[in-house]
Structure 1
Amino acid sequence: AETIAQKIKDEIFSKTRLTCSAGVSFNKFLAKIGSDFQKPDGLTVIDESRAQEILFSLPIEKFHGIGKVTAAKMRKLGIYSGKELYGLSINELVAHFGKVGLFYYNVVRGIDRREVVSDWEPKSISCENTFSEDIGDLDGLIEWLKRITERLAGRMKKQDIMGSQINIKLKYANFEVITRSMQLPHLTDEEEVIYSYAEQLLIANWDSTRPVRLLGVGLGKLDTEEESEQMMLEF
């Protein structure tokens, strides 16, 4: 598994020149925990001999599935790390957190029986670009929009996938992010169509007083060309 993870990391870097961190373990929860270590270009292996020690020392807000609100509630109960979480019984956790308490009881003991779904299909496909300098003029953003939609359309065609919902993403200089969507009248993978609708969304949501740091375009509500043809034939 460690060899496969390293191979995936190498392949990602070879194709995109981007680094990533990876986690390898005997279940999904611990693998995800491991992937947060040694960022941005690390590989962490958590075997059964190390799992409990790592979970005991892990701050409660670092447990995946525990958000800010739940973490605050846990701290009020004296739970600051996995070690304190481990000390509560199933009944206590369920009493305080409902059904998800059983999940907390198991994962802090290194138990996660969820299977890896290898044939998962994406709900959307997107391309985005972070600018070296923030862009404050609409013409500059539109030029980038053309490049990004060209890349997106190329990905869609390569994977024989079409979509019927256009999404744009804007990250401003202050790191605030907004997303906007528009439903299309039909499925498409055509660059001109994607660009036309994405441009409408960009113009409608552009704010001249707020420089943009990142621009992204995506297609949602995906379908394969083969499946869409079958649907048309059925009608």
Structure 2
Amino acid sequence: MRKIIHIDMDAFFASVEQRDNPELRGKPIAVGFDGPRGVVSTASYEARKFGVHSAMSIAKAKQMCKNLIIVPSRHETYKQVSQKVHAIFQRYTDIIEPLSIDEAFLDVTENKKGIVLAQDIAREIKQSIKDELQLTASAGVSYNKFLAKIASDYRKPDGLLTIHPDRALDFIDTLPVEDFWGVGPKTLQTMHKIGIFNGKQLRACSLTHLTEVFGKAGPVFYNFARGIDERPVENTRIRKSVGCEQTFLEDISKKSAIIIELYHTVLELLRRIDKSGFRGKTLTLKIKYDDFSNITRSITTNKILTQKSDILPLAKQLMNQANTSAKAIRLIGLSVSNAEDTQKAPQWVEGELEFEEWD
């Protein structure tokens, strides 16, 4: 039986800011750009009590929390702290799969210290993070990645939960389907329409029915409802895509302005492609409108997309498909995926690729 730990730093960016500035401790803060188009990157737990959360506009966050303090991001600092957290992980195992700057999976089935219980390892890691970095982390322990990740979210902040194989199905039975990995707003709406609200109801659905309704995700949900997840912890992650997005200071609607901003986004994408060395064949356009609705459009070619002469015409083609005359545009993003060496489809999150924002 595998022993998997999922570690998730608590309100990471905000906690680092409160640690480094004692005047911010105990106060509601949000990390992000304090401007008309600023977005909350991370909110402290004091701010979350007022309903402030990541990806919320700074303007709305200020309305919800009148005493909210906005703190500029210090990405280099967060990166350095993350490296120190990973150094603690490496005392126990080299099989580490980072999910982002503030969370990771660890396979401790065979660990460097010969500790029998994964729960004890998770407890030691949490204590080391607290003692050495003055930060807290939440940990989930189980026999697969799906359950370990859910467990780490269950008792935040500073939580530790172990889901034992003998109790996994009972735990899953009461788990709301929105807490299942891969269930976003659209999938959740569909599940509710067909009468699935928790893990027990999901497990009652046949594989055939779930596949008919959810396609390739159907077998994944079928297995998750049974506590099955065979994915290994991978200490090398293959880059699936490279992308960028830009939020405008003011919404744009004129065709000429859209084309100009699209051109600048293409140039930024080319810079990131050149820096990463990524070679992909699928171009994806993401648009966020002034009402915060999103659309994505993709096109796959036989060419490796590394040149402006190839990417710009495709980007314009996708923009024409998007019917931009209907609404003003708040954000434009572009991404290249479908890597030449793996030929795998990009990782989708409810129909959208994850992009990295740029100024």
Structure 1 contact 61–71 (Cα < 8 Å) conserved: no
Query: Are the equivalent residues in 1 in contact too, given 2:245–2:334 (CA < 8 A)?
Result: yes
Find the partner of 1:106 among 215, 226, 229.
Answer: 226
Task: Find the counterpart in structure 2 of residue 173 from structure 1.
Answer: 290
Are 2:248 and 1:128 equivalent residues in the alignment? no
Paired letter, 1:106:
R
The 1:164/1:140 distance shift into structure 2, 3 A limit, reads same
CA distance 1:118–1:141, shift in 2 (3 Å): farther
Between the aligned partners of 2:302 and 2:198, the Cα distance in structure 1 is 50
CA offset at residue 20 of structure 1?
7.8
- Once the two structures are TM-superposed, the CA of residue 122 in structure 1 deviates from its matched residue by 3.9
Q: 1:200 to 1:148 in 2, by over 3 A?
A: same
Of residues 153, 157, 161, the one that matches 2:274 is 157
The answer on whether the counterparts of 2:263 and 2:312 sit within 8 Å (CA) in structure 1 is yes
2:257 alignment partner in structure 1 = 140
Q: Decide whether the 8 Å contact of 1:152 with 1:218 is kept in 2.
A: yes
What amino acid is aligned across from residue 188 of structure 1 in structure 2? L
Flag the 1:151–1:54 CA change in 2: closer, same or farther, 3 A.
farther
Which of 143, 158, 161 aligns to 1:46? It is 161
How many Å separate the matches in 1 of 2:207 and 2:299? 43
Conserved 8 A contact 1:21-1:37: no
CA RMSD of aligned residues (A): 4.6
CA distance in 1, matches of 2:182, 2:300: 31
Q: Which residues in structure 2 correspond to 1:1-235 (within 5 Å)?
A: 5-6=8-9, 14-15=75-76, 22=103, 24-25=139-140, 26=142, 27-33=144-150, 45-48=160-163, 55=172, 58-64=175-181, 67-68=187-188, 69-75=190-196, 80-82=197-199, 85=200, 94=206, 103-107=223-227, 112-184=229-301, 186-203=303-320, 205-223=322-340
Distance in 2, Cα, partners of 1:81 & 1:63: 9
CA deviations 1:196-218 (Å, max 9, x no partner) are 43234324545333111221112
Conservation of the 8 A alpha-carbon contact between 2:155 and 2:161: no
Distance 1:143 1:199 in 2: 11
Instruction: Note the C-alpha offset of 1:191.
Output: 3.9
Structure 2: segments with no counterpart, 5+ residues: 17-72, 80-99, 104-137, 211-217, 342-359
AA aligned opposite 1:174: D
CA distance in 1, matches of 2:154, 2:267: 35
Specify the SS of the correspondent of 1:186.
coil
Q: 1:134 and 1:17 mapped to 2: Cα distance?
A: 31
**Structure 1's 188 and 171: CA in aligned 2 closer, same or farther, altered over 3 A?**
same
Q: Structure 1 vs Structure 2: percent identity of aligned residues? A: 26
Which amino acid is 1:216 matched to? G
Name the CA distance, whole Å, in 2 between partners of 1:145 and 1:186: 21
Helix, strand or coil at the partner of 1:170? strand
- Contact 2:287/2:296 (8 A) holds in 1: yes
**TM-score normalised over the length of structure 2:** 0.44
Aligned pairs, how many? 208
Aligned equivalents of 2:314, 2:162: Cα separation in 1: 49
Amino acid at match of 1:189: T
Shift of 1:187: 1.6
Specify whether residues 133 and 200 from structure 1 end up closer, same or farther in structure 2 by C-alpha distance, changes over 3 A only: same
In the alignment, the residues of structure 2 paired with residue 37 and residue 147 of structure 1 have an alpha-carbon distance, to the nearest angstrom, of: 42
**1:44 to 1:168, Cα distance in 2 relative to 1, 3 A:** farther
Partner deviation per Cα, 1:96-133 (whole Å, 9 max, x = no partner)? 967958625533xxx64432234343443221123343
Unaligned runs of 5+ in 1: 225-235
Distance in 2, Cα, partners of 1:156 & 1:123 = 12
